[in-house]
């Protein structure tokens, strides 16, 4: 087996709210979305329309978000009704301190910026669906 890339597909309650959260707070861009009618792919979210899926991208990081009903139909091994996870998505970024300063004034559930014993300056944010995002940057020795 040769592995290509890993793109998490996260179960969410509301696609539009999730896209807005990631766009407004972290600068992710919408790559594509699938409307509730599932009759095509769109590159922008329309007012008055509901969506079941969205793919977002920021530089080399891609995240997929799928509405709960659609997720449970497609990912039949997903038997637990709970959204969120006991996992964190750890992203290495450039400018972690600047990102932290930008976000700390917002009403987000997040940790303090700290330097961990393994040499990474990092902080964690909980998204609107309960997923935990880590942002980290290597500290110069």
Instruction: Please count the residues of the chain.
Output: 141
Burial bucket for residue 12 (CB in 10 Å: 0-12, 13-18, 19+)? buried
Domains of the chain: 6-80 (3.30.720.120), 84-141 (3.10.180.10)
Residue 57 and residue 29 in contact, taking contact as beta carbons nearer than 8 Å: yes
pLDDT band at 3 (very low <50, low <70, confident <90, very high): low
pLDDT value at position 136? 95
pLDDT value at position 26? 97
Cα 73 off chain centre by:
21
Q: pLDDT (tens digit, 9 = 90+) per residue, 83-117? A: 766 788 999 999 999 999 999 999 999 999 999 99
pLDDT band at 80 (very low <50, low <70, confident <90, very high): low
pLDDT band at 2 (very low <50, low <70, confident <90, very high): confident
pLDDT band at 39 (very low <50, low <70, confident <90, very high): very high
């Amino acid at each position: 087996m040769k592995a290509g890339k890993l793109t998490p597909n996260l179960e969410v309650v509301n696609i539009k709210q999730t896209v807005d959260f990631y766009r407004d707070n972290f600068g992710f861009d919408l790559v594509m979305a699938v409307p509730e009618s599932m009759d095509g792919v769109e590159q922008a979210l329309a007012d008055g329309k509901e969506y079941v899926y969205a793919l977002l991208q920021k530089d080399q990081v891609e995240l997929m978000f799928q509405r709960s009903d659609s997720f449970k139909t497609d990912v039949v091994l997903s038997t637990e009704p709970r959204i969120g996870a006991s996992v964190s998505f750890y992203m290495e970024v450039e400018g972690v301190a600047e990102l932290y300063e930008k976000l700390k004034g917002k009403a987000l559930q997040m940790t303090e910026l700290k330097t961990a014993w393994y040499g990474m300056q990092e902080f964690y944010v909980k998204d609107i669906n309960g997923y935990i995002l880590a942002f980290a940057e290597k500290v110069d020795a």
